[in-house]
Each structure stands twice: as C-alpha cells, then as structure tokens.
Chains A and B, each alone.
Chain A
C-alpha cells in the first residue's frame, strides 16, 4: 500500500511540474497587472485587446496561419500519395524511399536547417516564404506518412479490387473508395502537419526571410526585451489553437462516425 501512495504522490508531482507552467501562462493571460507576475490583481481581457491591436503580432499570426494551412495541404497531399505507393505497390528501392521520407524526424532539426541553407547558398537562392513552406512541409511529411500508412495497411485491398471489378478506373476507385476510407488518417495527418508548422521555431529561425516573423519567432523576439503580459495572452491563443483544433476535430469525427452506424 505504501508503495502505491508513494507512486501516486510522485506521479502527481511529475504532472504538476509538467503542467504548472502552462497553467501559469493561462492564468496570467487574464491578469490585470502591468507586470507579468503574481499576485493576480484582477480579471481583465486587456492583454488580448492589446494583442489584437499589435500589428506585428497580427502579421506574425497571419503568416503562421497561412504557413500552417499550406504546410498541411502540401505535406498531406504528398504524404497520401507516397503512402499509397509504398503500401499498394512493389518497386525497387522501396525501403530506401521509406527511410528517406521518414528521415527528417531522425535528423536533428538544426542540422536539417543548416543543410538546407547551405544548399540554398550553393544554388544562390534567397530565403523566402516559399522556402519556409517547403521546409515545414519536409518536417511535417514523416508524421503524415506514418499516420496515413498505418491506416492504409488496415484498409483491405479487396475494397479497391471490388470497385475496379464494378467498373471504376483507378482514379475513380481512389476518390470513391480509398480516400473516404482513409479520411480519418488524412485528417489526423493534416492536423499534425498544421500543429508542427504552427509551433516550429528552430528551423523557422534559420529559414525565414528578413523581416518575416511567425508567432513563435515573434514571441521569441518579444522575450528578448521584456516579459510582457501580452506574451501570456499570445501563449493562451496558441494553446487554444494547438490543443483545441485537434480535440475539436476528434470530437467531430467521432460525432459523424456515430451518426453512420
């Protein structure tokens, strides 16, 4: 019994250590005080208003959103097609390509970031939003491939074969049968990609063109001056987006699948 009690206390402490900072950010976002610290002086939404009025932050937010959405689109499209090829077809060099697609997860991000920069220098290309987008897509791709592949293995080939035998050509079969059955994984993969892009900072610092900020680099920049309570509000918004979107999506998916059966 004593062991269990100890274990419980220990677990509680570990979780507290992990989640307390997040809770602090969430709480302080609503603090009325001029300085980001305890004690809380009163409930206020003024930092959110200030955030909204801060043009630099709004610009960074827009950049992050479009970067995230485009990254999700690109890496999901490529990831689905790559998974289809890897799971459904036999060809030479398949193992190599699998490893190659997954490798961005294995390579330290700093190394990847520097490598891409050196490559760009060699091509004498300037840093741009496009580069940032391609880079984020490369980082997000392995997650999409892993999620989609896992689901695709579970979709029996017979569904596709049945559709083909009934007269659907390969493209029709993909859109009528494979894609709808794959949708939960595609959706999950896209969300992963979005979140990974949305809070990526390491590679972004290396790749962003001069003058362009994403939300994480903006926060990082603001922190260098002072810890403004605005940052807590921004942190709150980021947490809501990166936690809220997947949770909401999961809930929606469950709701729709329940309606069907």
Chain B
C-alpha cells in the first residue's frame, strides 16, 4: 500500500499532447477514479503510473519514491485490464500464481495464496480450468485475483467493468468496491462511466482533453461542478446564461431569461468571484415540472413539453421555455406529462451551481 503522487506530468506523442498537465495525489488506501470521455488522457495517465508509458516530463512518486526510471516489472503494481488479459494457455491456478513465481514464494505458500485469492473473489475451486471455460464476469474476477495476490502497492484498474453486460456490471462494482475496502489497497480506477465513478470512488478526478478539470469527492463533483464540462459530463445538466444584477452578504442575484430574478446562495457560487455574468447549472433531476406555479422559495418559468422519454418510475422531459430547451428528470407521480402539456418549470436556488461565464 502506498500513496501515489503525480507532479507536473506531461505526455506528448509527437505533436499530440495526450496529457497537458497533471498534478494529482492518490491517497494511501483510497479508491480514486480517473473519469473522462475517451481521448481525455485518463488511460495514458494510468499507463504512466504502471510504467507502460514514460512521461515526457514530470515525476511519478509511489510511496514517496520517484519511480520514473523503475521498469514496470519492478514496480509491484496490480494491473487489471478491460479485456481481462488472462493468459489463455495457462490454467486459472497458474494465472494467479504467475506473479508469485517472481517473488520467491514457495510452492506450498503459492497454493495457499491462490486458494485465498480465489476465496476473496468468491470463485473457489476453479484452479484447474482454463480462462475460456469461464464467463466474462468470472474471468474479470480471476484477473482481479491475479492482481491482488501479489499484494501490490497500488491496484490499477483500466475500465475493468466496461466489457461486462449491464446487470453484471452493477453487481461487480459493488463487489469490487467491497474487495478494495477489505484489502485496503490504494486503487486507481479508470472509467468513462459517470455512474461507476460516483458509486465507487472516494475521490473523482475529472479529465478532459489532457487536463484535470476537477478533483473532489463524488458529491462535491456532482453538486458543485467546477466547469460546464464537468456539469454536463456527470449526468444531464441545464445551463442558463445569466447576468449578475446585484450581490449581497447572502446571495448573488441573477437575471436569467424567462426565469427572471434568481437569488443564488453564495455557497453555490464560490467560483463566481466578481464576474459580471455567469452560467447557472441545474441538474435535470432537480428541475421540477408542475401544473401551477410553485411556492415562494422557488423560481419558475412557463414551458411546453416537447418530448417525453418514459422510463418506468421516472420520465425525462424536454421542455421548451422561450428559445431554450431544458431537460427535466422527474419521478412520475400518477401519470407523466403529455407532449404539448403546458407546465411550470420550477427550480430551487439551493440546487443550482453558479459558474463564471468562461468556465
């Protein structure tokens, strides 16, 4: 177990800058997620920590020691891939024992450790089978067992759940998190799936175009996005362009089209500074549709439902308010609003986040 520090890491391939600048810390024993769309540099970052890629500049520290020049096989890291990468010509037992061979573990200890590792991933007794005889989910558990049996300083997971089907993926993420919690290994998890990131992480690092956009706990990143990119990448968000009209000790008062005056609590506008205009971020599930105007603590505008995406207990509405279209994700109480229904779009100012215009 060890903490990992990336100091001023940059990586370019020829003229392409895969990672423009990264300064992040992965705390000892924590589960940190690198989240971002494909091509944002998250996998490159992971590969640099593992030693599969060399940074163009900057330092990588594992447990306080610089490891830039340490080859991958001496870094003692566990690596789990999206496509499992179990050795097809080796049995499950041999796969898991592979790393122990290079650590001078005796034969009897190896057998015990393999059994233990299989117990941890809840697949006892499959030592003699070959990888192709197991299902995708089972193979990924074996890959995890193979990575943790060597007691790595850091566990690196490169989209390990992406190849599994939806139901299995949700089960596996609960289990993966539980295993990580039990063995307490520092884990770095790469994903493009925001719900995985929110569900599993102690800390999320949101990346975009080779840059770190925001670092924070899941709730913080979700409720208080640092930029429009973060707001729109983590769930569906509505962005309202608004002008600041006044500011007092408690609120910044905005003038937003169709909604009129919106007083935003300062706690929701920490990044705002003295900017003259900003972007009001409101998540789709926090935007409520109602038949008539809401109570006095809320702000509302009149709109027309343009499209309904019915999902059982909830529905996603696309509502036209003047020249803008908003998304609202609402629980269905008795029956969903119909297309063409005239509704009142209601938001609570405490649910908004205010960003300066450029972010």
Residue ranges of A at the interface with B (Cβ–Cβ < 8 Å): 156, 158-159, 161-169, 172-173, 176-177, 180-181, 260-261
Contacts and interface: CB of A to CB of B under 8 A. Distances in A.
Contacts of B230: none
A172 B98 CA distance: 11
Contact of A158 (B85, B101, B102): B85
A260 B37 CA distance: 40
A177 B74 CA distance: 18
Interface size bracket, B side: 20 to 34
Interface string B73-114: 111111101010111110000000011011100000000000
Contact of B132 (A156, A159, A176, A261): A261
B229 interface: no
A162 B81 contact: yes
Contacts of A172: 102
Given A159-B85, A163-B87, A172-B102, 4 more contacts: A158-B81, A165-B156, A166-B150, A261-B132
A17 to B, nearest CB: 44
Contacts of A161: 50, 52, 72, 79, 81, 85
- List of 5 A-B pairs having minimum Cβ-Cβ separation, nearest first: A167-B102, A166-B99, A158-B85, A165-B79, A162-B85
B133 interface: yes
B89 A180 contact: yes
B98 A158 contact: no
B22 to A, nearest CB: 21
B130 interface: yes
B129 to A, nearest CB: 10
Interface in B47-85: 50-52, 71-79, 81, 83, 85
Contacts of A181: 88-89
Contact of A168 (B83, B102, B133): B102
Contacts of B71: 164, 169
A222 B3 CA distance: 78
A166 B102 contact: yes
B89 A261 contact: no
Contacts of A164: 51-52, 71-73
A184 B162 CA distance: 31
A165 B132 CA distance: 22
7 contacts: A159-B87, A161-B52, A165-B73, A165-B75, A167-B102, A169-B71, A176-B98
